[in-house]
Structure 1
């Protein structure tokens, strides 16, 4: 069977790459031919500022390193997924799978994405169109109503043959719009067992000295947070490695292959992240981690909807940084992964059943 995946596979970050890789490999393991399908970018209907990124003068060295990384990502790493510079808009497949990632997020500030109904299945020529672990991100039902998008999104969702989402916010939105509940599925990075994939050999990604790993998009850690992280690293005699983008802190910026990322997480003495996939990378490598949740306030692009749901499902909300629970206090005790591992195994079975149901 020919299966198309309509996702955000061209976005240059490790999370997007690995969710695309994980879903592709999972569907292929069921005996299907899989390729990625592109969408036409839509209009940015509500430009929101990035968290802590306004008026930042980026270090020239970091800027050059990131530019080289982006070029390599496009020419080499995306190619390993079967994604070339030529865009593929052909949705005439047996099954079109929309997802994972924030494909339902109406407020994508990236002009290369924007708000496009193609990510809701509009104009699909597939015999069957479904979603897998789709997320509305920080889009809420109230925002959909406020910006007058309720009817057109509702019409598109009701035409989908089956719907699965990955977080409670998305679940609630679909339930309200469609009058029926979608399936809950886990993100492909949790679904796929990367530990059994020889390309993700974690021994290749070691760093000689002990280190703390900071994983976030560029300059998302505040200067205050960076000051505290510097003190923590000095006190514990740890090097600082930075991944995802440069920050307001002295450390080594890592722009490695996606196949080496999990090794950096697994070998870290501690991980601090504020991203969804950074948290998942920490969980599947059993890292000693702490997660900072950003609120969607004052025009900031928050992530509390998806991160709270993820850590709640895994029984790991005690890894969230709060006013009463600092990252230093959290990192004193390493996570107990027994319950989380059991949840992941159970959710994998449910999610695989859903995929089989959609495709077979």
Structure 2
């Protein structure tokens, strides 16, 4: 009997922990529903950017620009060296942990899943993605085509219309046999473009029970002293945010460890693999983040946290659309940091673990049901 062949097209080669763990989590979820499935990752080809990009067109020049940008971050020289080393070896050291060394089989797949992450974010200036029709199932690689928790990110209907891709997006999305998104903005875009109402599911890092079932997460404590985590891209915390975080850490005798990016307030930037990262989150006393997955890592490890939500109007990388919905879904709107001075209040207020676990149990049930339905569709098409 031929096994089901599944190809996941995601952001698995982006060098950050959220991209890595969501791709790995989705693979593990599919394998848990169909243990006999042969699951691999598919690569997409970047498309043309539909908005002016400040990034150089050459990959070499982009790398040089990134090094220059990181070098301007306020951090000790030793941390900058650790960070450059982290970025330089991330792909070689950590991506094989996801199974990226497994080559996809030749020929058509039983099932192609596009997602999770911002795979539908097609109107952006990132030259590593652009408007890639691969991410909308063109060309189709599987007998059954589905998305899972796909996000348009900061792409809005207005941006789609002004970019002149409304018709092609409508046609490509209409070709999906099953559509799943992860936020309200994405669901509304799909409804407007296709007339279909997609299901909304949580990110795979929430759906896959990492902390209960993932054997690669180290059991031992990774840092001897009490510590806070600051998780965000280099230099995005303001001077005021850095100063307040430093003041709070000093008041409770804690170190500050930064992950993912360089931060002025940190005692040390830590280079570790994605599974070690979750161990650090498990053992910390609190988290400050302005990222989607930093928020999720805090939730699944049950740590007090605050999330800095930034509007697109004042920041080109605004995170309001995705983070606002995520905090509302989890019943945690109070974790949104609106005043820097309230940072300490959030970090000393424990999470309602019972409420979170109840919510996650229901969302995990819905995810499993959805994946079973698309795998059942695969069986139906093979008869």
Structure-2-length-normalised TM-score: 0.87
Cα displacement (A) at 1:109? 3.3
Q: 41-50 vs 288-297, which deviates more?
A: 41-50
Pick from 109, 118, 132 the counterpart of residue 93 of structure 1.
109
| CA deviation profile, 1:133-166 (whole Å, cap 9, x unmatched) | 0001111111111222211111100011110001
Pick from 30, 45, 48 the counterpart of residue 43 of structure 1.
48
- Cross-structure match for 2:313: 297
Quick one: distance in 1 between partners of 2:52 and 2:221? 37
- Cross-structure match for 2:72: 57
Cα displacement (A) at 1:203? 2.6
Quick one: distance in 1 between partners of 2:52 and 2:357? 38
- Cross-structure match for 1:75: 92
Cα displacement (A) at 1:61? 3.3
Residues 98-177 of structure 1: pairs in structure 2 closer than 5 A: 98-177=114-193
Q: How many residues align?
A: 357
For structure 2, the 5+ residue unaligned runs are 56-67, 377-383
SS at match of 2:117: coil
SS at match of 1:199: coil
Say if 1:194 and 1:200, in contact at 8 Å, map to a contact too: no
SS at match of 1:5: strand
Say if 1:103 and 1:134, in contact at 8 Å, map to a contact too: yes
Say if 1:41 and 1:111, in contact at 8 Å, map to a contact too: yes
Quick one: distance in 2 between partners of 1:314 and 1:132? 19
Mark the CA change 1:225 to 1:91 in structure 2 (over 3 Å): closer, same or farther.
farther
Quick one: distance in 2 between partners of 1:145 and 1:72? 40
- Cross-structure match for 2:10: 7
Mark the CA change 1:67 to 1:165 in structure 2 (over 3 Å): closer, same or farther.
same
Say if 1:163 and 1:182, in contact at 8 Å, map to a contact too: yes
Runs of 4+ in structure 1 deviating by more than 4 angstroms, as ranges, are: 47-50, 53-56, 86-91
Pick from 17, 26, 40 the counterpart of residue 29 of structure 2.
26
Quick one: distance in 2 between partners of 1:152 and 1:79? 35
* 2:283 is aligned with 1:280: no
Mark the CA change 1:237 to 1:169 in structure 2 (over 3 Å): closer, same or farther.
same
| CA deviation profile, 1:297-352 (whole Å, cap 9, x unmatched) | 14611111111111101100011101497222222321212212111100111111
SS at match of 1:189: helix
| CA deviation profile, 1:66-112 (whole Å, cap 9, x unmatched) | 2322343211221122214x986967211000000000001343322
Mark the CA change 1:239 to 1:292 in structure 2 (over 3 Å): closer, same or farther.
same
Q: 255-264 vs 298-307, which deviates more?
A: 298-307
- Cross-structure match for 1:318: 334
Quick one: distance in 1 between partners of 2:80 and 2:143? 45
Cα displacement (A) at 1:209? 0.5
SS at match of 2:317: coil
| CA deviation profile, 1:6-52 (whole Å, cap 9, x unmatched) | 001000111111111111011112221100000111122225779xx
Structure-1-length-normalised TM-score: 0.93
Say if 1:129 and 1:161, in contact at 8 Å, map to a contact too: yes
Cα displacement (A) at 1:296? 0.6
Quick one: distance in 1 between partners of 2:156 and 2:281? 32
Quick one: distance in 2 between partners of 1:250 and 1:191? 31
Say if 1:7 and 1:37, in contact at 8 Å, map to a contact too: yes
Quick one: distance in 1 between partners of 2:54 and 2:318? 10
Quick one: distance in 1 between partners of 2:154 and 2:71? 24
